[in-house]
Amino acid sequence: MKNLIILLVTITSLIACEESSKSNSVGESPEVKQTKPIKLERKDPVPKTITLQEVSRIAIIEAEQFITNAKKDGFDYSSVTEIKNQAQQAYDSGEYKKAQLLAVEVRQKIEDIMSKK
């Protein structure tokens, strides 16, 4: 939609420039035409808040990324895999706050493990 509006504005501008570059018979300044402004409306408003479910899901994804990075860097991350699994189980059963707290715990423990090397 945005690309279509940009294309329409560009074409309109080009047409206006072409018309304004045409000389009139008397040698006067070209006529400037008033066009209606384009009103842009956003149909899908951006949410102003994020739910606890979304926060906990993001925390679990971050925990998974920390585990992946620890594995890639050769750290022993086995001590946190059970906590990560508990976080996922809590999320799946609708206990979003518990899931978030467990996922944050995974992240903190991975950070501790990586800082000790």
| Domain assignments of the chain as residue spans, ordered by start | 52-115
Confidence of residue 96 (pLDDT cuts 50, 70, 90): very high
98 touches 55 (CB < 8 A): no
Q: Is 105 exposed, middle or buried (0-12, 13-18, 19+ CB in 10 A)?
A: middle
Instruction: Please report, for residues 45, 51, 57, 83, the alpha-carbon distance to residue 48 in angstroms, rounded to integers and kept in the order given.
Output: 9, 10, 18, 31
Closest Cα partner for 90 from 105, 107, 103, 108? 103
pLDDT in tens, 60-80: 999 999 999 988 989 888 889
- pLDDT > 90 fraction of the chain, expressed in percent and rounded: 40
